[in-house]
Amino acid sequence: MKMKVKDPSLAPQGRLQIEWAEAHMPVLMKIRERFSKEKPLKDIKVAASLHVTKETAVLVRTLKAGGAEVYLAPSNPLSTQDDVAAALAEFGIEVYAWRGMSPEEYEWALGKVLESGPNITMDDGGDLTVMAHERGVASSVRGGTEETTTGVIRIRALEKEGILKYPVIAVNNAETKWNFDNVYGTGQSTIDGILRATNVMIAGKWFVVAGYGHVGRGIAARARGMGAKVIVTEVDPIRALMAVMDGFLVMPMKEAAKIGDIFVTATGNRDVITAEHVSLMKDGAILANAGHFNVEISVKDLDLMAMSKREIRKSVMEYTLPNGRRVYLLAEGRLVNLVAAEGHPSEVMDMSFANQALAVELLVNDGEKLPPKVHQVPREVDERVASLKLESMGVSIDTLTDEQRKYLESWRLE
Ligand code: NAD
Ligand code: ADE
């Protein structure tokens, strides 16, 4: 096998990490048990671009248990857990990933997994899907999955231009993904990333969250829970109104820039914090990003405007501005939760990756019948994932009686 990881001797440590994740991902492990018996992915090649974490390891081992050959590249140059990558290589996953890849190495890794001639692509952010289309690999692909909001937006844009060549299931948009991973997962892990990088006190600080979508909502709630005074910035009037009614201060970034101690972008958009905002900030302001790409905080602007910069702690770059103030950029403006911490906890990735595994099975069975569009995860799959998760947590719920079901389906008030 021709794989490439940073240090194969880290494999024993990586195996323990994976074992820990497995113990916290009961839904995916249940799917693995069935996959091991039924082998629904026999002879299927899966090319994946995902953050190479212990949770991703549980997913790709589940696909392998189902009979698939798995080729794994990262979905961000800085998010790979090198011990996990080393363990995966030993487990027979063809992995091309290490932390701190250059842009060229990152592109090379994606190219390597596509060389396998995959039947399925599994993407987080859209880079692999776009490359499959650019490199003429797409025509032999039966279907793909997409893990995150930004990736779904990019793949919808391919569809809109009429150049999407195969069906892609928007795993991100499953209720058991978007309303849990993006909200509670990113809420907790973003705070975790900020704390591991800085160890600053959150209580009493002005904490600015840009974007009140799924991710922003989770971060704002967790920051408030730790005693921060939270300000939200938005461009969508409905989302802004939700933030107001949830009790947050809402104002434009130009106003928030003067007040904030900690800023987190979570918009999926570019240039949310630029030189214009940075020049208004207080000495000591901390800037972090939770959105998929490193374009939300303009790192280019920071580099251009700063008199000097130095790495003051791991994942913390201090920029000294012409006005003498200092601002601190975390994790190079990349996903702070995956670069400065370990990403979302296993418990929530359990649901996201259960949807991924079931979406792959669906594409293997029905992919050839689906048109080359972006498809939703079927409701039954979403409900199955939720039911299994509840069961694993020892929570039972009520069921509708026949009378109640009829009542809910009728216009008569009998
Ligand atoms: P979403 O569509 O639910 O929310 C995005 C919000 O940002 C929207 O309300 C939108 O109006 C707002 N917005 C857009 N431009 C803005 C601007 N200039 N200023 C202020 N607000 C603006 O999307 P989401 O699911 O919350 O995802 C947000 C980003 O986070 C995406 O890039 C997604 O891929 C990424 N993501 C990251 C992680 C992680 O682990 N860090 C996990 C899930 C999603
Ligand atoms: N995205 C966010 N957290 C993650 C994790 N723990 N593993 C893989 N992808 C992630």
- The CA distance from 155 to 335, in Å, is 20
8-177+344-392 matches 184-339 in fold: yes
Which atom of ligand 2 is the closest one to the Cα of 55? Answer: 7
Asked whether residue 110 carries a pLDDT value surpassing 80, the answer given is yes
Asked whether residue 51 carries a pLDDT value surpassing 60, the answer given is yes
pLDDT band at 249 (very low <50, low <70, confident <90, very high): very high
Residue whose CB lies within 8 A of the most ligand 1 atoms, among 148, 177, 183, 296, for a mutation test: 148
Asked whether residue 392 carries a pLDDT value surpassing 70, the answer given is yes
Q: Decide the pairing of beta strands 316-320 and 308-313.
A: antiparallel
**What percent of the chain lies above the pLDDT cut of 70?**
100
- The CA distance from 370 to 24, in Å, is 34
User: Three-class SS of residue 284?
Assistant: coil
Query: Judging by beta carbons within 10 Å of its beta carbon (0-12, 13-18, 19+), is residue 100 exposed, middle or buried?
Result: exposed
Asked whether residue 98 carries a pLDDT value surpassing 80, the answer given is yes
Q: Determine if ligand 2 sits within 6 Å of the CB of residue 55.
A: yes
Q: Determine if ligand 2 sits within 6 Å of the CB of residue 122.
A: no
User: Three-class SS of residue 146?
Assistant: strand
**Quick one: which of 34, 195, 101, 298 has its CA closest to 207?**
195
CA of 217 to the centre of ligand 1 (A): 10
Question: SS3 helix, strand, coil % of the chain, rounded to 5?
Answer: 50, 15, 35
- The CA distance from 142 to 370, in Å, is 9
Asked whether residue 111 carries a pLDDT value surpassing 70, the answer given is yes
Ligand nearest to the CA of 125: 1
- The CA distance from 349 to 172, in Å, is 12
- CA nearest ligand 1 atom 43, residue: 182
Could you read off the pLDDT of 276-303 as tens digits, one per residue?
999 999 999 999 999 999 999 999 999 9
Q: What is the DSSP letter of 155?
A: H
Residue whose CB lies within 8 A of the most ligand 1 atoms, among 154, 156, 182, 217, for a mutation test: 182
What CATH fold (topology level) applies to the domain 8-177+344-392?
Rossmann fold (3.40.50)
Residue whose CB lies within 8 A of the most ligand 2 atoms, among 56, 58, 79, for a mutation test: 56
Angle between helices 26-38 and 379-392 (to 10 degrees): 120
**How is the chain split into domains, by residue range?**
8-177+344-392, 184-339
Mean pLDDT, rounded, for 200-220 = 98
Question: CA of 254: how far to CAs of 41, 187, 296, in Å?
Answer: 52, 24, 15
Mean pLDDT, rounded, for 55-74 = 98
- The CA distance from 179 to 192, in Å, is 19
CA of 79 to the centre of ligand 2 (A): 9
Q: Determine if ligand 2 sits within 6 Å of the CB of residue 56.
A: yes
Q: Positive or negative, the Cα torsion across 314, 350, 395, 391?
A: negative
- The CA distance from 341 to 383, in Å, is 30
Mean pLDDT, rounded, for 87-112 = 97
User: Three-class SS of residue 145?
Assistant: strand
Could you read off the pLDDT of 306-361 as tens digits, one per residue?
999 999 999 999 999 999 999 999 999 999 999 999 999 999 999 999 999 999 99
CATH superfamily of 184-339: NAD(P)-binding Rossmann-like Domain (3.40.50.720)
CA of 399 to the centre of ligand 2 (A): 33
Which atom of ligand 2 is the closest one to the Cα of 345? Answer: 6
What per-residue confidence (pLDDT) applies to 1?
Answer: 57
CA of 53 to the centre of ligand 2 (A): 7
Residues paired with 264 in a beta bridge: 209, 288
Across the beta sheet with 168-170, what order do the strands follow?
Answer: 4-5, 94-97, 69-73, 45-49, 120-123, 143-146, 168-170, 374-376
Does pTM top 0.85 for this prediction? yes
The pLDDT mean for the chain works out to 97
Q: In the block, which residue shows the tokens 């949310």?
A: 272
Mean pLDDT, rounded, for 10-26 = 98
- The CA distance from 110 to 95, in Å, is 10
Phi/psi at 277 (5° precision): -80, -45
- The CA distance from 169 to 122, in Å, is 9
CA of 189 to the centre of ligand 2 (A): 9
Phi/psi at 380 (5° precision): -65, -35
| Amino acid residing at 413 | L
- The CA distance from 261 to 327, in Å, is 10
